[in-house]
Amino acid sequence: MQQRKQIPITREGLDEIQRELAELVNERRPDVVAKIKAAREHGDLSENFEYHAARNEQSFLETRIQELEAIVRDHVLIEAATPSDIVQVLSTVTLQEEDGPEETYRIVPPAEADPTSGSISYESAMGSAVMGHREGEEVEVQAPSGATYAVRITRIE
């Protein structure tokens, strides 16, 4: 039997995952089932757009529920980073590209990454490039496209 991969996550991240899972299971799933039932009552399912749309929604919903259940089942809690002069998981890092503005990111486990809110995964190109480095260091980031660029670590919190 294959051993499951442990999923590192913070207490806050796990709480958010559990909240989303409860909402999907207790609210969205019954709504989709009701949509499917209502669409079935319209007769011929082969040309019933509402039925096919509801089944498609159900498929996406069930996939997301399975993903969230796997995180809850296989999670390993990680604690907040202890103050350090080295970038580590849960550090908040301020970076600057040459002549660019400073940008601040929190380094988080992959399940919690949300670049639009300033949280990047330690597995991302930027996250993995800065891990283990110190304030003042310049590091090379290799973008998924293969291009590289340099960023300077200006602050670690």
Per-residue pLDDT of the chain (157 residues; tens, 9 = 90+): 566 788 899 999 999 999 999 999 999 999 999 999 998 887 777 778 889 999 999 999 999 999 999 999 999 998 876 778 899 999 999 999 988 899 999 999 999 999 999 999 999 999 999 999 999 999 999 988 999 999 999 999 8
Whether 111 and 143 share a structural domain: yes
Tokens of 85: 């002069």
Pair 105, 91: CB distance under 8 Å: no
- Strands (E) in the chain, as ranges, are 7-9, 75-77, 92-97, 102-108, 119-121, 138-142, 148-156
Give the global pTM: 0.74
Whether 97 and 127 share a structural domain: yes
Q: Is 150 contained in some domain?
A: yes
Kindly give the interhelix angle for 29-40 and 49-74, rounded to the nearest 10 degrees: 160
The residue range of the domain holding 16 is 7-77
CB count in 10 Å sphere of residue 112: 22
CA distance linking residue 72 with residue 70, whole number of Å: 5
pLDDT of res. 98: 86
CA distance linking residue 142 with residue 148, whole number of Å: 4
| Closest residue by Cα to residue 151 from 91, 97, 93 | 97
**The CATH number of the domain where 97 resides is what?**
3.10.50.30
